[in-house]
Structure 1
Amino acid sequence: MANEVVRVVTRCNDAEETNHLDLSECELMQVPDAVYHLMRNTELKTCDLSSNVIKKIPPKFAIKFNFITDLNLSHNQMSKLPTELADIGCLEVLDISYNSFIALPQVCFKIPKLRILKANNNAIIEIDTEEMVASDKLELVDLRHNPFTRVTQRKLLKAEVPYKIELSEFVEEDW
């Protein structure tokens, strides 16, 4: 436990100079309040929270880190995102791959400058393609390796969106 605390503090100190906060592989269950305190005078550009055991991101995350352009939340245990993420006006890349999402969070399509959304390797079964709002900035949505239903897979293949949707080949289940 003490080693993880030292690691987090050291990485926060590094981020003060680089504006890139890397808290990957720190065994975090959440973003500690101390991180918000340590980073209060730093305008972060990127934040890497990958490979932890985080279940949720609090709404205040978007308020405290509202200038980040790249947010990596991959390899955690998340199943939802706060709607406040849409308030991160500079966010261009969001990685929520390798989590526990069963539905693609609608907030992803409300982030104003989001260009790349990585949501591969989750447990997403269905996506309401009607709600996939056409974003004028979005370039790529990676949805590979999700257990979509055949109907959802077809809808996604036929979706007329101005961005690229990456899908895995549909594999028929043997019952």
Structure 2
Amino acid sequence: MRPPSQFTEDFAAEAEEQDPRMGAMMICTRLAGRAIIRVVGRCNEAIENSNLDLSNCQLMRVPDAVYHLMRHTELKTCDLSENDITKITPKFTTNFSLITDLNLSHNQMAKLPDEIASMANLERLDISFNTFVSLPSAIFKIPRLQELNASNNHIVDVDSEDIEEAPSLMKLDLTRNPLTARCHDLLCRINKIEVLLTQREREDWEDLTI
């Protein structure tokens, strides 16, 4: 007797002979099913260790089912990296308000909700490898945030006053962002916290002497 996986592949091949779209639809359904099983499995693990790892789960958003499964668990960390998430909602910040470490890297985010400032225990935030063109001011209002990784985005300007007024920030990584010359110079003058920057290449016109 053929194993279930082989049976599914043979059935998909037969369906594709009748309608080319059917085989592709079955493959997509199977992949989606695997992703759901992976998410549920990782939620069950988080119930045991309080660390929710939903990285590389083909997510475009945080499913409502995750909030339901985690409703009685006080999470310490949450990893949503390596997905296709475009945004997190205020519901996320409300349900996971106690986490200390949040990894949102390698997604498609360009903004964060203002409610992220209410995550009173958050100490480390990673938003690297996304599509931010600016840093949301709400980030700098997170009371215990110590480390922010915003490298590899499309950020051109940052309010240096927001950075200096952040209550607990100690390290900010802005490497590999297309910062303007003025912004880069202002950030270089900050002494209160450690700001990591990619060395700026001088423009041709800056080398001209008058």
Q: Identify the TM-score tier after normalising by the shorter chain.
A: over 0.9
* Secondary structure of residue in 2 paired with 1:21: strand
State the distance in 2 between where 1:13 and 1:82 align: 27
1:25-71 CA distance string (max 9 Å, x none) = 00100000000000000000000000000000011111000110000
2:92 counterpart letter in structure 1:
F
How far apart are 1:138 and its partner, in Å? 1.2
| Matches for 1:65-80 after TM superposition, within 5 Å | 65-80=96-111
Alignment equivalent of 1:117, drawn from 139, 145, 148: 148
| Matches for 1:13-92 after TM superposition, within 5 Å | 13-92=44-123
Paired-residue identity, %: 52
| Matches for 1:121-160 after TM superposition, within 5 Å | 121-160=152-191
Partner residue, 2:200: 170
* Secondary structure of residue in 1 paired with 2:129: coil
| CA distance 1:138–1:130, change in 2 (3 Å) | closer
State the distance in 1 between where 2:172 and 2:34 align: 37
State the distance in 2 between where 1:9 and 1:37 align: 11
State the distance in 2 between where 1:135 and 1:92 align: 12
Q: Which runs of 5+ in 1 are unaligned?
A: none
* Secondary structure of residue in 1 paired with 2:135: coil
How far apart are 1:163 and its partner, in Å? 1.1
2:172 counterpart letter in structure 1:
V
Report the number of matched residues.
174
* Secondary structure of residue in 1 paired with 2:165: coil
State the distance in 2 between where 1:80 and 1:72 align: 14
* Secondary structure of residue in 2 paired with 1:71: strand
Greater mean alpha carbon deviation, residues 44-53 or residues 130-139: 130-139
* Secondary structure of residue in 2 paired with 1:132: helix
* Secondary structure of residue in 2 paired with 1:67: coil
TM-score, normalised on structure 1?
0.95
| CA distance 1:131–1:137, change in 2 (3 Å) | closer
How far apart are 1:75 and its partner, in Å? 0.3
1:62 counterpart letter in structure 2:
T
Q: Which runs of 5+ in 2 are unaligned?
A: 1-31, 206-210
State the distance in 2 between where 1:173 and 1:153 align: 13
1:164 counterpart letter in structure 2:
E
Partner residue, 1:95: 126
Structure of higher RCO (CA pairs closer than 8 Å, 6+ residues apart): 1
* Secondary structure of residue in 1 paired with 2:156: coil
